[in-house]
Chain A
Amino acid sequence: MTELSAGNTLLLEEEEKTSLEAREFGFWIYLMTDAVIFALLFATYAVLANNSAAGPTSQDVFELSHTAGETALLLLSSLTFGFATIAMTLGRSGRVVFWLIITLLLGICFLAMEFVEFQGMLEKGAGPEVSGFLSAFFTLVGTHGLHVAFGALGICVMIGQVLIKGLTLPVRSRLVRLGLFWHFLDIVWIGIFSVVYLPGVM
């Protein structure tokens, strides 16, 4: 009887592993579709970047020091998520929670900076309704910001799961997928400062 249940447990563990691998692959496909969405928003922005309709141009509204700050926050948060992943492989749940909280704080600071930037632009009369350039800008950068907000929400959920459930196999798998998502957002941000901000201030 005990032998049979032990065999069953083994079988279940095997099945769980296969299912988690399938989920990781599915998540990868989702990331690739997301990459295509962002690529098209980039293309839209590149096409519309000079169409400022006699309104504020990119030189008027972009602040490079602000962008540098946002870049630093996001890059650091990628590193701290990496530290959380390492702590996970070592099985130290306290460390995982610590680094996830640091990552979350960096992500929230990034969102706050973006909010301040958007607010400042709206006050200057540079809202998304003013010109094609500003519509494309708010759509592209706003979509990225929305993703970061969802990523931050995901970190909150995973902090709760690590604290309550511990580092079980499914929790590890979710954490790995959240890591993929978070690093992916950093990659999109590279595109944003290279396509939007740096050429925009010249």
Chain B
Amino acid sequence: MTPAAERSLTTYLIGFVLAVVLTAIPFAVVWGGLLAGPAVYVVIAIAAVLQVMVHLVFFLHLNFKSTPAENLFFLAFASVLIIIMVGGSLWIMTDLHHRMM
């Protein structure tokens, strides 16, 4: 094995362990009923966001040095679109829901 291959092997293994931990936490919380109420949703959301970042960094090898700037730009663009569209849909529909009650 070359040093570069060993480094990327370590990267994949670290990413995998982090992903397993970040999956186990929300499953344990829901399965074991460790928390109740809105706190559960907070834990699930934080674990999900962290795990997406772990996947991007350790599996898709995203970083500010070797990833082309255009790719990062499009990732940021898509993120903004997603936040506007998902956030907007949820906002409008919950508002509508409240008004229809």
Q: A residues touching B (Cβ–Cβ < 8 Å)?
A: 25, 28-29, 32-33, 35-36, 39-40, 42-44, 46-47, 64, 68, 71, 75, 78-79, 82-83, 85-86, 89-90, 180, 183-184, 186-187, 190-191, 193-194, 198-199, 201-202
Chain A hits for B13, CB < 8 A: 79
Say whether, besides A25-B70, A43-B90, A47-B89, A64 and B48 are in contact (CB < 8 Å). no
Chain B interface secondary structure, helix, strand, loop or mixed? helix
Do B74 and A32 touch across chains, with their CB atoms under 8 A apart? yes
Say whether, besides A35-B82, A43-B89, A82 and B51 are in contact (CB < 8 Å). no
Name the one of A46, A75, A193 contacting B19, with C-beta atoms under 8 angstroms: A75
Do B8 and A190 touch across chains, with their CB atoms under 8 A apart? no
Chain A hits for B74, CB < 8 A: 28-29, 32
Do B27 and A64 touch across chains, with their CB atoms under 8 A apart? yes
Q: Give the interface size bracket for B toward A.
A: 35 or more
What separation, in Å, do the CA atoms of A26 and B43 have in the docked complex?
35
A86 shortest CB reach to chain B, Å: 5
Do A187 and B55 touch across chains, with their CB atoms under 8 A apart? yes
Q: List the 7 shortest-distance A-B pairs measured between CB atoms, nearest first.
A: A82-B12, A194-B48, A32-B78, A43-B89, A39-B82, A183-B59, A47-B93
Name the one of B5, B12, B30, B89 contacting A79, with C-beta atoms under 8 angstroms: B12
What separation, in Å, do the CA atoms of A78 and B93 have in the docked complex?
35
Q: B residues touching A (Cβ–Cβ < 8 Å)?
A: 1-2, 4-5, 8-9, 12-13, 15-16, 19-20, 23, 26-27, 30-31, 40-41, 44-45, 47-48, 51-52, 55-56, 59-60, 68, 70-71, 74-75, 77-78, 81-82, 85-86, 89-90, 93
Chain A interface secondary structure, helix, strand, loop or mixed? helix
What separation, in Å, do the CA atoms of A180 and B56 have in the docked complex?
10
* Interchain Cβ contacts under 8 Å between A and B, 12 examples: A36-B82, A39-B85, A43-B89, A64-B27, A75-B20, A79-B12, A89-B2, A190-B48, A190-B51, A190-B55, A193-B26, A194-B45
Name the one of B27, B51, B59, B60 contacting A68, with C-beta atoms under 8 angstroms: B27
Chain B hits for A71, CB < 8 A: 23, 27
Say whether, besides A68-B27, A180-B60, A194-B48, A47 and B78 are in contact (CB < 8 Å). no
